[in-house]
Structure 1
Amino acid sequence: MSDHDVDIVIAGAGPTGLMVARELALAGVRPLVLDQLTGPSAEPKANGLVGQVIRLIDMRGLYHELGGEPGAPQPIPGYTFSGIPISFDAIAENSMYALRVPQPRLVSVLEQHVREMGVEIRWGQRLSGLTQNSSGVTLAVSGPGGDYELRARYLVGADGGRSQVRKWADIEFPGTTSDVVMRIAHVSVPDEFRAPEGAFEIPGFGRLPFGHNRCENGMVVFAEFEPGRQLIGTMEYGSATIVDDTPVALQEVADSARRVLGVDVPMVAPRGPGPHALRRINGQNTRQADRYRAGNVFLVGDAAHVHSAMGGPGLNLGLQDAANLGWKLAASVQGRAPIGLLDSYHGERHPVGQRVMTHSLAQTALMAPGDAVTALRGLFGELVRQPEVAAHVAQTLAGADTRYDVGDDHRLSGRFVPELTLASGQRVADLMRTPAPLLLDLADGFFADAVGNGSAGIRSVVTTTPSTTAAALLIRPDGYVAWAADHTGSAELNSLQTAVSRWFGAAAALDLGA
């Protein structure tokens, strides 16, 4: 646009910001990405992806590139809730997926993709302020070449839990901070103490299993995500607060592990060049932006919500924020967005963030010391042995219980499209490499004929599948079903027209044979 330097600026080139950039570029819009770092962060943070996001990255053609096994993603046989093991073997429809991929690898892949698609990333650029009016946002930027102003139609804040974008946009960040101190470090454990199934044999204590382990004095997490380098973390409740600027050392982590387990834990500094994890978190924040949109400013990922990493929900939540917002911003920039589309971002994603914080807080509470919590964990362990409870927990952790209000009451509407294998042998994921709406007509072209004569920009595929009894599904660019029908008729055509108008604009009128 003539009065803007760029349509969209993304503040932050972490995984969520880069995912927004990739979604926009796939839709034909090239944003400008700014980051105050001098290059992609190599800091080891998340160690993988869990939940519904696995199916999202599969749709976008990223699953195998990030290390997924050949074929479709397969659900995992079990997981944990606050360190309590849960088997999914008896679940009829298991919605829990996982993929081990270090966050630096994810960032590297996304950065390469967006650059190849023509997206400019400016490293070493620090935002120093913003103002906005009804037409856009003006950013004050400081970089190696000096200070400058940048005008954008929209700004996406993907700048982390301490987001300056959020603060400058006057968005509140209510929540709580728990009285815990967490420490985490990469270490090297002598081979004689490594046990089968990723466990750790600790002299004087016994076997410490892979994952989160609750003790009466706190929690210890142990994992070996890569050969020769282990991860040890601790969480102590009610610990004396340490001044934030006190440098953390490996000995501090070892001392914490000794307090929690009651014995010395054999560990030395990790081998190899790194970078290695070594950090402390004073108090666990559980906070959520009271609004994900303020005028022309939007928040995604940690800028919109922070919570415990237990269970690994962060990237599942943040990357799906990106997918939800990306196609809506692209439609607005391209003049295709119906009224209210951009507001639906907050309306849909804010409740999902609340849901994640609920189970995150519950897992933290179940890790706390005390006889009452021990009893509660025992009862919870009994409950999750019931298949229906295990299924509920799996859906919650995966985010598969998310259902948006899309204005259609079909059982599939508002939910992430089910895994469908079509008559051609393709999966529905194969048809969604780009964020564009898809009409899956399973009724011999009855619905595709109407859409094919319209101007909705909807791709229609006439096919069959034994995987569902639905006659047709209209799938939004983010993979969620906007409309579905079990029968063919004028009522179904009219409801399809309503859905198309709601999500893709009144100009996308269908030919209903009137």
Structure 2
Amino acid sequence: MSNVTKLERTSVLIAGAGPVGLMLAGELRLGGVDVVVVETRSEPSGESRGLGFTARATEIFHQRGLLARFGEVETSRQGHFGGIPMDFGVLPGSHFGARGIPQYKIEEMLEGWARELGASVRRRHRLVTLNHDERGVVAVIDGPDGPFELAADYLVGCDGGRSAVRQLAGFDFAGTDATREMYLADVLDRAIRPRYIGERVSEGMVMSMPFAPGVDRIIVCPRGAPRRERTVPIAFDEIADAWQRLTGESLHGAKTRWVSVFTDATRQVTEYRRGRVLLAGDAAHIHLPAGGQGLSLGVMDATNLGWKLAATLRGWAPATLLDSYHTEQHAVGARVLRNTQAQGLLYLSGNEVEPLRAVMAELVALPEVGRLLSGMVSGLAVRHDVGSSEHPLLGKRLPHIPLAGGGSTADLLHRARGVLLGSNRALEGIVHGWTDRVDFVHAAPAERSNAGWPSEVDSLLVRPDGHVAWIAPSTPSTPSRVGVTNALRRWFGEPHRAPLD
């Protein structure tokens, strides 16, 4: 653009002010990094595409002190896998997610938090072009006052399934195209029979549930409805036609708050990072919205990336730290894509899958299978490679655990810093060299039998994203200085001063 004259600068430019971009902005500000978020919309979407978040996202919001901002959060043990009922509470700490929280409320909360921390959120700003090399990124942004250039050390695309950043930076978006089209509507003031986990009918599947006073969410999945290239938004009459065809019930003439179309397209970028450009959320992966995992997976992307990118910009990150974002989260995303594809086959196929559904129902009733599927869909089973697998807790998330003397493990992670906690005071001298990025907390669980902090474990090193990077057993009384020092160096770089003897 020939009229581009102004040049601005920031450390990180984020494209997209949805839940993922706003979560990442807050994480970066906690890490002490300047961030600008650009968003094409003039105000939060008002959409309710998502109606809650998984158990793992619930933990993450709690670890940042954000969960209370939603008010009373309702959760339920009862859920499903591909329409097959199951008890998610068979896994300790698990549930089928926080319910009744529309996506626009999540966005509003996260935007308020990010702005409180000093993030610049600029609405009515659209990323037009970008150039990137080993030194950084220069993007042309079209705003209300005209186009301008914005230079950044890094750019993160959090701009959704049709990501402009992904396309402009040349990421490979591998996967499968949509095979069907499905519909969603929020219907006002109609008495609709609840079908909480969906109801398979002769021509497809329908779901319905109340989620606000006088508002019911309906989902219509007709079998054999191929994806259409739509140039205008879908009209509710088309959704009402499909609903009546599948259920025999008429919703014609009803008022709606929101209508939408979605598909079963399944794609994931082959790399989450290309030099100074990274992707997170739907920009990096799209899938069938089975089990409400999409938003929560994006929140996990943001909390995995935020502290690593901030550490890189602050100069203390180990050389491989930022690359571990792709290594860890690509594997997590791939597993979500697999389980949503499996659920789609169970949920949306015809009578030919009934034998498979019958076998799956028997398997889901087994506690071991229930724990496996609950951990998979809730996100609680995510385990990263932290260099050792000698203990089952290593690489997994540290759950909410009440501590002796008050407070909980979630309270310790509000500032998105590393935490070394345990009852052995010798650790305080070891961590002295990293006190600018790691806190030592003299603590023990209120109940030693807590499954999240087993009795054979005395001390833990926890990353800012809540995953356990090192443990010391209850014996010997003096933990390995080499072991904890190596773990500190791997995740938090070289000390800024010498540890104490």
Same fold (TM over 0.5): yes
Query: Cα distance, 1:454 vs. partner?
Result: 4.9
Return closer, same or farther for 1:244/1:250 CA change in 2, 3 Å cut-off: same
Query: Cα distance, 1:491 vs. partner?
Result: 6.7
Tell me which residue corresponds to 1:93: 92
Cα separation, 2, equivalents of 1:512 and 1:238: 68
Tell me which residue corresponds to 1:299: 279
Cα separation, 2, equivalents of 1:112 and 1:277: 24
Deviation per CA, 1:13-33: give whole Å up to 9, x if none: 111000000111122223011
Tell me which residue corresponds to 2:4: none
Cα separation, 2, equivalents of 1:94 and 1:326: 25
Alignment of 1:273-288 (within 5 A): 276-281=257-262, 283-288=263-268
Deviation per CA, 1:177-218: give whole Å up to 9, x if none: 232110111113544xx5xxxxx0xxxxxxx52232222311
Deviation per CA, 1:140-169: give whole Å up to 9, x if none: 111121111111000010010010101111
Residue 44 of structure 1: which of 36, 44, 48 is its match? 48
Query: Cα distance, 1:170 vs. partner?
Result: 1.0
Tell me if structure 1 keeps the 8 A contact 2:472–2:479. no
Tell me if structure 1 keeps the 8 A contact 2:75–2:98. no
Tell me which residue corresponds to 1:29: 33
Alignment of 1:102-501 (within 5 A): 102-188=102-188, 190-191=190-191, 194=192, 200=193, 209-261=195-247, 263-266=248-251, 268-270=253-255, 276-281=257-262, 283-409=263-389, 410-443=391-424, 445-452=425-432, 454-455=434-435, 457-465=437-445, 466=448, 467=450, 468-469=454-455, 470-486=457-473, 487-488=475-476, 492-501=480-489
Cα separation, 2, equivalents of 1:332 and 1:4: 21
Q: Quick check: 307-316 or 112-121, which moved more?
A: 112-121
Tell me if structure 2 keeps the 8 A contact 1:190–1:267. no
Aligned residues: 485
Return closer, same or farther for 1:31/1:190 CA change in 2, 3 Å cut-off: closer
Cα separation, 2, equivalents of 1:246 and 1:10: 28
Tell me if structure 2 keeps the 8 A contact 1:188–1:268. no
SS in 2 for 1:43: coil
Cα separation, 2, equivalents of 1:464 and 1:142: 53
Query: Cα distance, 1:352 vs. partner?
Result: 0.3
Tell me if structure 1 keeps the 8 A contact 2:28–2:306. yes
Query: Cα distance, 1:390 vs. partner?
Result: 1.1
Q: Quick check: 479-488 or 75-84, which moved more?
A: 75-84
1:65 equivalenced with 2:86 (yes/no): no
SS in 1 for 2:12: strand
Tell me if structure 2 keeps the 8 A contact 1:500–1:508. no
Cα separation, 2, equivalents of 1:190 and 1:13: 33
Query: Cα distance, 1:97 vs. partner?
Result: 5.1
TM-score (norm 2): 0.92
Where structure 1 has 5 or more consecutive residues not aligned to the other structure, the ranges are 195-199, 201-207
Return closer, same or farther for 1:453/1:326 CA change in 2, 3 Å cut-off: closer
Return closer, same or farther for 1:75/1:498 CA change in 2, 3 Å cut-off: farther
Tell me if structure 1 keeps the 8 A contact 2:433–2:496. no
Tell me if structure 1 keeps the 8 A contact 2:195–2:206. no
Tell me if structure 2 keeps the 8 A contact 1:217–1:260. yes
Tell me which residue corresponds to 1:8: 12
Return closer, same or farther for 1:417/1:97 CA change in 2, 3 Å cut-off: farther
SS in 2 for 1:52: helix
Query: Cα distance, 1:133 vs. partner?
Result: 1.2
Cα separation, 2, equivalents of 1:173 and 1:50: 25
SS in 2 for 1:174: strand
Tell me if structure 2 keeps the 8 A contact 1:441–1:448. no
Tell me if structure 2 keeps the 8 A contact 1:128–1:140. yes
Cα separation, 2, equivalents of 1:311 and 1:406: 28
SS in 1 for 2:320: coil
Q: Quick check: 4-13 or 347-356, which moved more?
A: 4-13
Q: Which amino acid aligns with 2:429?
A: D
Q: Which amino acid aligns with 1:504?
A: F
TM-score (norm 1): 0.90
Query: Cα distance, 1:476 vs. partner?
Result: 0.4
SS in 2 for 1:32: strand
Deviation per CA, 1:219-263: give whole Å up to 9, x if none: 1111111010111111123224434115422221111112223x1
Cα separation, 2, equivalents of 1:48 and 1:453: 41
SS in 1 for 2:26: helix
SS in 2 for 1:140: strand
Query: Cα distance, 1:318 vs. partner?
Result: 0.2
Return closer, same or farther for 1:284/1:406 CA change in 2, 3 Å cut-off: same
Return closer, same or farther for 1:242/1:511 CA change in 2, 3 Å cut-off: closer
Cα separation, 1, equivalents of 2:122 and 2:93: 42
Cα separation, 1, equivalents of 2:222 and 2:91: 38
Q: Which amino acid aligns with 1:343?
A: D
Return closer, same or farther for 1:250/1:25 CA change in 2, 3 Å cut-off: same
Query: Cα distance, 1:280 vs. partner?
Result: 2.2
Tell me which residue corresponds to 2:3: none
